[in-house]
Amino acid sequence: MPVVKVSRRGANRLKDGHVWVYRSDIVDANGIAPGALVAVTDDRDKPLGTALYSSASQIAIRMLSTGAVHDLSALLRKRIQEAVAYRKRIVHDTDAYRIVFSEADFLPGLIVDCYNDLLSLQVLTQAMDTEVVRQAVLAELAQSLKPQSVIERVDPRVRELEQLPERSSSLLQGEKTSTVFTMNGVRFQHDALEGQKTGAFLDQRENYAAAAQYARGEALDVFCYHGGFALHLAQQCSKVTGVDSSRPALEVADRNAELNGRAVEWIEANAFDLLRDYASAGQQYDTIVLDPPAFAKSKSNLETALRGYKELNLRALRMLRPGGILVTCSCSYHVSSTDFLQIVTQAAQDTHRTVRLLESRGQAKDHPILLAVPETAYFKCLIMSAS
Ligand code: SAH
């Protein structure tokens, strides 16, 4: 097996339980093939374990094991079985959930989502794209979960960054590409080859249910996509309006409302413009949800991202009736929970409202957080009441 030598800093990171080594901490990886399975040593040749190598990513090494790996396919299959078993223990009230969450399941570079009888798979690294890995993953998914179909969702930007050949999203197994999934009793249409991400924002599943516990009166779901929050709120609220800039997303949201026998008003608009106009027109709500896309894609645009979050939260707080509920989210890893709470606190101060924190939440449990890998914790969801 080829050997990659890492610096003392890289080795210390691994000893602390992290699974990445950045390229700047690689001492020697000459001539190693993209996506290779490699033995990792420190700068004194002491073995540190076995990893997957990327020749393109800044994350050069993703650890698979602190020991030797003799049969990669068998190890991957065992890891998938463990990921499935973990979900069986902790996931309830849904047939749509994440089965494999990359590093958090010790399957770095692989995402697998389940939507009822369909599986959606995403490959994020050179190693996970190799034929031997694909074969092992597909064989185990078929055996463990017996899906009707397996669909691969391709993020072209990820393939470009990993210097992988272009590929389109496609069916890998079976013929079925659409289904209906149910979470917390709410039904959703799913077209496996359409939509954003792998089709839904599964990390919000538990937050939908939590938000519905407090929601009441007239509700506004901003950045509503397929209506995840809106349809959960509609169980409690007298009127629900969903806002998104994507027309295709709203078309699915409308079909979802019909599927659940709910009346929701959908508005195609830029959320920033709409909130500005509604706030200055004195429009009021009892419940507002803010779930924008990741504003901080990297550390470099953190300041701009924080300004974006501040503006949204400020406008939403201005539009809440006394006793109103604000559910505010950030899926930017680079915005820490502390940053996010601080921004929302500043927005509350600027509006002179007394705001009580009801719940501070994160991603659903099927997106596990590894304590040793802080990058696995990316999601913030605050539920608050404003007097
Ligand atoms: N709340 C959703 C997920 C939201 S993802 C759910 O639970 O399923 C972010 C959404 O914001 C996407 O649907 C995207 O189309 C939308 N979006 C991005 N920029 C926007 C903007 N400026 N105004 C309105 N919607 C926007």
Give the pLDDT band (50/70/90) at residue 198: confident
Tens of pLDDT, residues 257-279: 999 999 999 999 999 999 999 99
Q: How far is the CA of 199 from the centre of ligand 1 (A)?
A: 13
Tens of pLDDT, residues 119-130: 999 999 999 999
Nearest Cα to 151, choosing from 184, 93, 188, 195?
Answer: 195
Name the residue of 240, 245, 277, 311 whose CB sits within 8 Å of the most ligand 1 atoms, as the mutation to test its pocket.
245
Buried b (16+ CB within 10 A) or exposed e, 346-371: ebbeebebebeebeebbbbbbbbbbe
Over 80: is that where the pLDDT of 171 sits? Answer: yes
What is the CB neighbour count within 10 angstroms for residue 287? 25
Q: Is 25 in the pocket of ligand 1 (CB under 6 A)?
A: no
Q: How far is the CA of 272 from the centre of ligand 1 (A)?
A: 11
Name the residue of 244, 247, 252, 295 whose CB sits within 8 Å of the most ligand 1 atoms, as the mutation to test its pocket.
244
Q: How far is the CA of 252 from the centre of ligand 1 (A)?
A: 13
Do the strands 320-330 and 37-41 form a parallel or antiparallel pair, or are they unpaired?
unpaired
pLDDT at 319: 97
pLDDT at 228: 98
pLDDT at 224: 98
Q: How far is the CA of 290 from the centre of ligand 1 (A)?
A: 9
The gap from C-alpha 137 to its chain's centroid, in whole angstroms, comes to 21
* Ligand 1 atom closest to Cα of residue 289: 1
* Ligand 1 atom closest to Cα of residue 225: 13
- CA-closest residue to ligand 1 atom 1: 224
- CA-closest residue to ligand 1 atom 10: 223
- CA-closest residue to ligand 1 atom 21: 270
Q: Per-residue pLDDT averaged across 232-254, rounded?
A: 97
